[in-house]
Amino acid sequence: MLIKKIVIHKKLIESFKAKALLANPYEYIEAIMGLQKKDCLYVYAFDEIQIINTINSRTYKEIQYCRPEEEVEAGTKYKYFGSIHSHPGSGCDLRPSRKDISDFLNQGQQETFWEGGSEGNCLTDQIMGIMGVHRKKKVIEYGMVFYNTLMEKIDVIISENRIKK
């Protein structure tokens, strides 16, 4: 079923924002883990993807989510749904780049949004998240948007209470 709404805890957003600011001027990316109920995705974790830094570039190690479910916490199984990445730089650019759109819509060839994957049985992304983040002097500006596989924006509900399982 197509995802039309996301419920995500404020602390997950704050944690991702802090990591994205540290990664500046590079993009930062994490896997989105959660559970789907009808057309709503409940996000329980952003899972870090290993990064390989060099002087001139940043690449990501192959993703390990090649099973329908990954154990993120003891006894709890969340499913992999896609990834969220940052757009650092001037302003809070939430528009997907041409590469973002191409990678997301042509998953049959590359299997995951960030060109990782392994051995042909990896899951395809159902959502793509973008956080535009920008620091100017003492002010941090940020925004966030999620897209489903039809490239439709998804409604985001930010929770301040614990999301019930």
Closest CA to 140 of 84, 86, 59, 83: 86
Q: Are 72 and 47 in contact (CB under 8 A)?
A: yes
User: For 20-97, where are the E strands, in sequence order?
Assistant: 29-37, 40-48, 51-53, 58-60, 69-73, 76-88
Question: Tokens 């390990």 label which residue?
Answer: 64
pLDDT < 70 regions, the chain: 50-76, 90-91, 106-124, 162-165
Return the pLDDT at 12: 92
- What are the structural domain ranges in the chain? 5-159
Closest CA to 80 of 102, 49, 109, 103: 49
Return the pLDDT at 62: 46
Return the pLDDT at 37: 92
Rounded distance between C-alpha atoms, residue 125 and residue 123, angstroms: 7
Return the pLDDT at 145: 93
Rg (CA), the chain: 15
Return the structure tokens found at 110: 């590359």
Q: Which fold has domain 5-159?
A: Cytidine Deaminase; domain 2 (3.40.140)
Return the pLDDT at 155: 94
Report pTM: 0.75
